């Protein structure tokens, strides 16, 4: 039997056309790219998460001379936020990037490892939205699980 998956998402021309909370989170993600340590790739990624109690945390990619030891911006901030959740859930993450000091034009799409982590911290009862930012357009996905269908979940 053939089955199909469909993916619903929203596209915005700029943060100004998003709701105020999302607009603020996008701005925090853009600012957070200055926290990046990316001497190898020179791709500076920033991420910001909003908690259900209103707190906002930011993080950025942190690289290492032993390349696999580095961490993406998303996992940097997601693990930190989860460690400091104090019973709150993560409701939204925004991701942005700069190259050569200029914001990238197209939205930064999270890698598979970060998507896997998102699916564990956003649940169907408390979905985490994902906002990926470029200077030309911004995409919003209401549920991180939609970005990682059939994610690993066997324990
Ligand atoms: N990177 C992120 O931090 N997030 C993404 O969504 C894509 C890639 C980082 C990993 C590495 O430090 C650099 O960007 C180049 O891949």
At 84-128, the pLDDT tens digits run: 999 999 999 999 999 999 999 999 999 999 999 999 998 778 899
> Which is catalytic among the residues 13, 24, 63, 74?
74
Q: HSE-up of 66 (CA within 13 Å, CB side)?
A: 1
Q: In angstroms, what is the span from residue 33 Cα to ligand 1's centroid?
A: 11
Q: In angstroms, what is the span from residue 43 Cα to ligand 1's centroid?
A: 7
Look up 74 and say whether it is catalytic: yes
Instruction: Give the pLDDT confidence score for residue 154 in this predicted structure.
Output: 74
Cα–Cα distance list, 31 to 7, 88, 94, 126 (Å): 29, 24, 11, 26
**Which residue has the least CA distance to atom 10 on ligand 1?**
72
Instruction: Give the pLDDT confidence score for residue 123 in this predicted structure.
Output: 75
Q: In angstroms, what is the span from residue 30 Cα to ligand 1's centroid?
A: 14
List average pLDDT for each run of 10 residues in the chain, which is 155 residues long. Answer: 96 97 98 98 98 97 97 98 96 98 96 96 88 98 95 80
């Amino acid at each position: 039997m053939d089955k199909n998956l469909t993916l619903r998402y929203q596209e915005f021309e700029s943060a100004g056309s998003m709701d105020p909370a999302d607009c603020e989170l996008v701005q925090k993600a853009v600012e957070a790219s200055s926290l990046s340590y990316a001497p190898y790739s020179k791709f500076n990624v920033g991420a910001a998460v909003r908690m259900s109690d209103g707190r906002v945390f930011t993080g950025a990619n942190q690289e290492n001379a032993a390349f696999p030891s580095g961490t993406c911006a998303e996992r940097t901030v997601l693990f930190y936020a989860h460690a400091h959740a104090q019973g709150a859930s993560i409701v939204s993450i925004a991701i942005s990037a700069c190259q050569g000091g200029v914001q990238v034009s197209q939205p930064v799409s999270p890698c598979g490892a970060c998507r896997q982590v998102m699916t564990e911290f956003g649940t169907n009862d408390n979905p985490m939205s994902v906002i990926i930012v470029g200077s030309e357009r911004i995409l919003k996905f209401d549920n991180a699980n939609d970005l990682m269908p059939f994610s690993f979940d066997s324990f």
